[in-house]
A = this chain, B = another copy of it.
């Protein structure tokens, strides 16, 4: 048999060095989120194709891996077969759509205010590109049932502390509110129907600058006066979230003043919690891609990395679409793969580093004594593992460093006090 042994296109095998860091990060993040009272839940990787294509996923709905129907349900004999006739399930493209289904399905068994942790793979059949994969891990917390900014404040603090726990510091939380963006766009004179498109363009301000955004909005046929008006408003806003209400006084009265008050409250509370370890800043041009956001939105930026390492916001109408009653909800998602990329680039030490030990065993060594020797070494804190002795022991020992070992012990029959030597690392 002759296989291509690569993983499927756009997917990857994860080597032991990386998995150690991933496990370390997962353990730390889960521990912090649990301290904040969030509960870990799981949903299946597969959902019905109807749920996944229900309109909440935006562009992601075009990237679904779809599952062929099985057994009698698969009818290939009829004419004019369409792809949608052939599939009944799909792999989830995010954890938010499954969460709303989970909440709808299980709410009678869940607390009135439900605070969830989700950690799992999602799949998107995107065009493969450097550093982006078609299967990747997301780590979300969500709070269902709280409409006040208590929710945003706790989500921001908990996610920040989770990032601190895995080694991040001096990062910046950027916050905004969709209601303010909408208010500005309306006051500037844009059609309500055009707001989503305008926001997508505004999102590019830090990449293409004021001129670029102006040109793109003009090219899309928006009136010059509206473009100038919204640019003037955005320019006038401070980055300092504590001065927000004062700055907002100069804006047209139609723009929601409560939203500024709430942003200022959240910024003040989270800044106090941060105690200088991370900062909160207002970003009037922060948009976030998904159409379902209804209130505050936020992202976390670290160093000079050209991507955010976490993002989220309030989505008060999404659960209502599923159960018929509106339930407020808000979530914050850690870009787990990006976090791992940074941890690896910045050389975070792995958990077992410094204590990996090989017990080298000859074929005729008595197995019970061999196992006992390894047990004694584990009791001394080594991660001890058995290796069969090779014909050239010297060469075997010389290779141990390359194989990731820090210590070795050649079994000599003494189960109680095995002799340990450090591996020479050149």
A residues sitting closer than 8 Å to B (CB atoms) are 1, 3-8, 11-16, 19-20, 22-23, 27, 30, 34-48, 50-51, 54-55, 65-68, 70, 74, 76, 81-83, 86-87, 89, 91, 101-102, 104-106, 109-113, 115-116, 121, 123, 125, 135, 146, 148-150, 153-154, 157, 265-266, 268-270, 272-273, 321-323, 351-352, 356-358, 361, 363, 367-368, 370-372, 374-375, 378, 383-388, 399, 402-404
Determine whether the beta carbon of B16 is less than 8 Å from that of A46.
Answer: no
**Min CB–CB distance A22 → chain B (angstroms):** 8
Q: Which of B30, B39, B356 contacts A16 (CB 8 A)?
A: B39
Determine whether the beta carbon of B113 is less than 8 Å from that of A1.
Answer: no
Determine whether the beta carbon of B3 is less than 8 Å from that of A51.
Answer: yes
Interface centre among A38, A112, A385 (most CB of B within 10 A): A385
Distance of A37 Cα from B400 Cα, bound (Å): 13
Which B residues are CB-close (under 8 A) to A399? Answer: 112
Determine whether the beta carbon of A371 is less than 8 Å from that of B273.
Answer: yes
**28 A-B pairs in the complex with CB atoms less than 8 angstroms apart:** A3-B51, A3-B54, A4-B48, A5-B104, A7-B101, A8-B46, A13-B41, A13-B43, A14-B41, A16-B41, A20-B40, A36-B378, A36-B383, A36-B385, A37-B356, A44-B135, A45-B135, A46-B65, A76-B82, A76-B83, A81-B81, A113-B387, A148-B363, A150-B361, A150-B386, A154-B371, A154-B385, A266-B367
Determine whether the beta carbon of A371 is less than 8 Å from that of B23.
Answer: no
Residue of B nearest to A375 (CB): B273
